[in-house]
Amino acid sequence: MFLFKTISLAGFNPGLNPLIQNQNNVGLNPLFQNRMPVAPPINFEEKYKDQLSKLNEMGFSDKVANLEALKATNGNVEVAIERMMNLNSEK
């Protein structure tokens, strides 16, 4: 047989816990109010500069299309070329 203990929430103040938010953010620790961790922006042109250079040397001169293909393929030049060739053949 299981016995459950009843817990009284009388006097519980969610405003004292920064992990519990109420609608008006009343009583919350100001360090945690409306803050979400934000990753720094990624400079894909810098990240994929070697791959962009390689694509350009191979005759793929559309920098925007090259960058989009590299982003979609996590920098894999061979797969990026296949992707661009497939997209061009569908047009």
5: in domain: no
Those residues with Cβ within 8 angstroms of residue 7's Cβ, 6 or more apart along the chain or in another chain: none
pLDDT of residue 52: 98
41: in domain: yes
Q: What pTM, to 2 d.p., does this model score?
A: 0.58
pLDDT of residue 89: 82
1: in domain: no
75: in domain: yes
- Residue 60's domain comprises 16-90
Low-confidence ranges of the chain (pLDDT < 70): 1-35, 91
Domain count, the chain: 1
Looking up residue 64, the CATH number of its domain turns out to be: 1.10.8.10
3: in domain: no
User: Is 81 in a helix, a strand, or coil?
Assistant: helix
pLDDT of residue 11: 57
